[in-house]
Structure 1
Amino acid sequence: MFAPGQEQLSKEQIKAGEIQASQTVRSAVAGAIMLYLSPFAVDFVKKFL
């Protein structure tokens, strides 16, 4: 696209890249939520025990 002579990606390759990017974003969001909630979970377990 930006480099001369670079080959074009097929529709399947573009779709695979979109799926991979979507999974990466979802796992990053899930990890951020888990990291945010982990101190609350540790405090809950300490109070429970």
Structure 2
Amino acid sequence: MFAPGQEQISKEDMKAAEVEACQTTKMAIAGGFLLYLSPFAVDFIRKLI
């Protein structure tokens, strides 16, 4: 990564990586929230049946 003679990352590649990292972070937070709520959803469905 920091080896001499290696090409620099372009601004477009850096922006694409930043967008991907932001999306990954949001998806991880949403997944964690859904996993937190899943036991409550299962209990709610069991009570309906």
Q: Same fold (TM over 0.5)?
A: yes
Pairing 1:25–2:33 present = no
Partners of 1:3 and 1:36 in 2: CA distance:
43
Runs of 4+ aligned structure 1 residues displaced above 6 Å come to none
- Aligned residues: CA RMSD: 1.1
Query: Share of identical aligned residues, percent?
Result: 63
Give the aligned residue type for 1:34. L
Structure with bigger RCO (C-alpha 8 Å, 6+ apart): 1
List runs of 5+ in structure 2 lacking aligned partners. Answer: none
What TM-score do you get using the length of structure 1 for normalisation? Answer: 0.89
